[in-house]
Chains A and B, each alone.
Chain A
C-alpha cells in the first residue's frame, strides 16, 4: 500500500527552544572565551557572566521546564548508565524521553565543571567582575584607573587568588575535554540511532516531508 506515511511521533521530537538556546549560547560562549577572547580581559569576564546567566536559566528550567527538560526526567544514575551500555553492546535500541542515561551523566558533568569554572572565575574577579592589573590585558589598566571601590578584587589576591586561577584553568581544560567527549557521544549515537539526536538540538527536528 502506498499511503502517505503517517507522521511518526518520534520523527519530530525536539528539545524545547529554551534548552536549545541555552545549549548553543553556552557552547558558543565557552568556545569564544577559551579560544578567542583573551583570558582576564574585560570581555572575558563579562562573557563569563553571560554564560553563568545562561547556565542559571537552564538549571532553573530543570525545575520548571517541560517534563523532558526537567532533572527528574534524567536523574544521574550510574546503574542506568551501565544498563544503557549493556543495551548498546547488545545493539538494543531504546527510546528515552529525555537524555539517555549516558548523556545525562555527561550533562551533569558538563554543568558541574562549568559551575566550577564560573565560581573560580568569580573568586578571581568578583561580582560584578573587576579586571585586575595582574590578570593582564590592555583593558586592565583602563579599568584600574576608574577608581571603583574594588575591595572585592583585592581579597582574592595572594595564595587564594593563585589557587582560584589554577582551578579556573584546570576546570576550563576539563570542560573543553568533556565537550569533546560529548561531541564524540553525539557522533556515536547518530551513527547508532540516526540523525534524531542531532536534529533535536538543531531545531529543524521534523524531517520535512516535501510534497
Chain B
C-alpha cells in the first residue's frame, strides 16, 4: 500500500518531454523541407509562411523544454522535502517507541498498524499467529495510553497539524 510511484509531476514532465522531442523532430524536418522551397521558389508569401511556422515550432520546443525543467526541478525539491519529512517522522516514531518501552516485536507491529495493515495482514507479514499480533497490539495501546488504532495514529498526527487544537476536546476514536 505504500509503494512509491513516480510523482504526478514527473509523469507530466515525461509526457511533455515526448512532445518536446516530437516537436524538435518536426521542426528539423520542416525546416529541411522548407529549405527546398526557399532555394527553388521566389521569396514570397509561401516562404514567409514557412519561416513563421519554423519559428513557431522552435519556440514551442523552447517553451516545452523550460516547462520540463520547471516540473523536474520542482519534483526533485518536493522529493527532497518528503525525504526530510519521512526521515524526521521515522526519528519521532523511534523516539516515541523507546519512550513507551516497546519491545522490538511490539515496535514492528506498531509500525505496521500505523501504516494501516489489519491484524491478519500483520500476522502474515511477520509470520506469526493473529492471536500473537492482537496481544502485541494490545500491549502497544496500553503502553501508549490509548485504546484504539486511530488514537495511536493521532498521537503522531497531532504534532504534524499546525494551529491551535482545543485541548479540552477528547481525541475521538
Contact = CB atoms under 8 A, between A and B. Distances in A.
Contacts of A18: 17, 20-21, 65, 68
A21 to B, nearest CB: 5
Nearest to A5: B90
A111 interface: no
Interface residues of B, number: 49
Contacts of B139: none
A209 to B, nearest CB: 6
Nearest to B32: A128
Contact of B65 (A3, A7, A64, A148): A64
A128 B13 contact: no
B13 A16 contact: yes
Given A18-B68, A21-B18, A208-B4, A49 B82 contact: no
Nearest to A15: B72
B32 A211 contact: no
Given A49-B28, A49-B29, A50-B25, A206 B72 contact: no
B172 interface: no
Interface stretch (B35-43, B47-55, B152-160): B35-43
B1 A1 contact: no
Contacts of A52: 28
Contacts of B29: 46, 49-50, 53, 128
A67 B73 CA distance: 9
B19 to A, nearest CB: 10
Contacts of A148: 36, 40
Contacts of A208: 3-4
Interface residues of A, number: 43
Given A21-B21, A128-B35, A1 B86 contact: no
A34 interface: no
Contact of B14 (A17, A22, A46): A17
B65 A209 contact: no
Interface in B77-129: 79-80, 82-83, 86-87, 90, 93-94, 97, 104, 107-108, 111, 115, 125
A53 B115 contact: no
Given A18-B20, A61-B65, A64-B69, A2 B35 contact: no
A4 B115 contact: yes
Nearest to A19: B17
B148 interface: no
Contact of B6 (A7, A128, A206): A206
Closest 4 A/B residue pairs (Cβ): A128-B32, A17-B17, A6-B87, A53-B28
21 contacts: A1-B94, A1-B97, A8-B83, A12-B79, A18-B20, A20-B17, A21-B21, A50-B28, A53-B28, A60-B65, A61-B65, A64-B65, A64-B69, A66-B72, A66-B76, A127-B32, A128-B29, A128-B32, A128-B33, A209-B4, A210-B3
Interface of A: 1-9, 12, 16-18, 20-22, 25, 46, 49-50, 52-54, 56-57, 60-61, 64-67, 127-129, 148-149, 151, 203, 206, 208-211
